[in-house]
């Protein structure tokens, strides 16, 4: 199962009438499934910051999958899933009712069991190319020394051409996108938490020749500017 699922999260909320809370989500670039009271949807890789407004009472259970999962969870082409993001694809066979029945704190073990039983047959379908994709994405995410596609290919013992074909066919993105996503999401975490240095210094630390170039790439990957991320973090800490 560890080759299929990265982690499971659960959030519940109960807000007074007229009160709304913005929930910002920064996703790892892989497939995920979100179960909610009225829907179950699969979402493709998306590096963008997603903000959802929570109102009233509700819950959501999310499953973040390893990169290999895409080809065993849906027949939709990986590149099409990326183009659709952040729109989801309905999942018809999810055990939504059983998940809903096991949300109480004392039922969490049963909840994990429900999800495990549902997903185990998919885990058995992961092939060698899927395992290779997992290794590629692990390296892209965790090795800060990898800044070029050639570095990433060397880290997993592939040619650049093989790497390009694997990531585009199975994940729908390029190896360069994976590397940039890691760098920009790391920067977003610093900006939102208030731990980032001055913006031009942050750009220099990431290897950009100037702040303008960094800001353009940041907005292209995350769909908001560095300053917007920093202000969102300031508003969150001021509550």
Whether residue 104 sits in one domain with residue 59: yes
Whether residue 199 sits in one domain with residue 149: yes
| Predicted local confidence at residue 237, as pLDDT | 76
Given a cut of 90, is residue 176 above it in pLDDT?
yes
Whether residue 134 sits in one domain with residue 99: no
Per-residue pLDDT tens over the stretch 75-103: 999 999 888 877 889 999 999 999 999 98
Tokens 């908001």, residue located: 224
Whether residue 101 sits in one domain with residue 145: no
In this structure, what CATH number is given to the domain that contains residue 224?
1.10.10.60
Last residue of a domain, one of 105, 123, 141: 123
**Residue 62 or 105, more confident:** 62
| Predicted local confidence at residue 155, as pLDDT | 96
Tokens 């909840």, residue located: 111
Whether residue 106 sits in one domain with residue 46: yes
What span, in angstroms and rounded, lies between the C-alpha atoms of 62 and 50?
A: 14
Whether residue 203 sits in one domain with residue 173: yes
Whether residue 89 sits in one domain with residue 185: no
Whether residue 231 sits in one domain with residue 132: yes
Last residue of a domain, one of 80, 101, 123: 123
Whether residue 64 sits in one domain with residue 148: no
Per-residue pLDDT tens over the stretch 47-72: 777 778 888 999 999 999 999 999 99
Q: How confident is the model at residue 153 (pLDDT cuts 50, 70, 90)?
A: very high
Domain enclosing residue 12, as ranges: 5-123
Beta carbons of 133 and 162 less than 8 angstroms apart: no
Contacts 24+ apart (CB under 8 A), 159-165: 163/136
DSSP per-residue string spanning the chain: -TTTEEEEEEEEEE--TT-EEEEEEE--SS-EEEEETTEEEEE----SEEEEEEESEEEEEEEEEPGGGHHHH--S-HHHHHHHTTS-EE-SS--HHHHHTT-SGGGHHHHHHHHHHHHHHHHTT--HHHHHHHHHHHHHHH-TT--SHHHHHHHTT--HHHHHHHHHHHTSS-HHHHHHHHHHHHHHHHHHHT----HHHHHHHTT-SSHHHHHHHHHHHHSS-HHHHHHHHHHHHH-
Whether residue 82 sits in one domain with residue 50: yes
Question: How many domains in the chain?
Answer: 2
Beta carbons of 237 and 229 less than 8 angstroms apart: no
The two three-digit tokens of residue 55, written as one number: 């109102």
Given a cut of 80, is residue 152 above it in pLDDT?
yes
What span, in angstroms and rounded, lies between the C-alpha atoms of 154 and 156?
A: 5
Per-residue pLDDT tens over the stretch 157-172: 999 999 999 999 999 9
Whether residue 135 sits in one domain with residue 110: no
Q: What whole-number percentage of the chain has pLDDT above 70?
A: 99
Whether residue 89 sits in one domain with residue 16: yes
Last residue of a domain, one of 88, 123, 158: 123
């Amino acid at each position: 199962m560890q080759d299929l699922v990265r982690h499971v999260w659960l959030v519940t909320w109960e807000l007074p009438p007229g009160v709304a809370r913005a929930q910002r989500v920064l996703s790892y670039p892989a497939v995920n499934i979100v179960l909610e009271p009225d829907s179950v949807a699969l979402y493709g890789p998306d590096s963008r910051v997603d903000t959802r407004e929570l109102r009233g009472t509700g819950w959501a259970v999310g499953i973040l999958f390893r990169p290999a999962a895409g080809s065993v969870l849906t027949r939709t082409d990986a590149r099409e899933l990326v183009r659709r993001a952040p729109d989801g694809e309905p999942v018809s066979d999810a055990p939504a009712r059983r998940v809903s029945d096991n949300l109480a704190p004392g039922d969490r073990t049963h909840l994990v069991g429900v999800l495990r039983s549902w997903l185990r047959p998919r885990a058995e379908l992961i092939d060698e190319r899927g395992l290779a994709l997992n290794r590629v994405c692990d390296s892209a995410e965790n090795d800060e020394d990898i800044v070029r596609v050639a570095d990433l290919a060397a880290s997993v013992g592939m040619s650049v051409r093989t790497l390009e074909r694997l990531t585009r066919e199975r994940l729908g993105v390029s190896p360069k996108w994976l590397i940039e996503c890691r760098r920009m999401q790391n920067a977003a975490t610093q900006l939102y938490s208030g731990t980032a240095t001055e913006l031009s210094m942050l750009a220099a630390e990431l290897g950009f020749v100037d702040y303008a170039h960094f800001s353009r790439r940041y907005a292209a990957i995350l769909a908001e500017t560095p300053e917007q991320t920093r202000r969102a973090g300031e508003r969150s800490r001021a509550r």
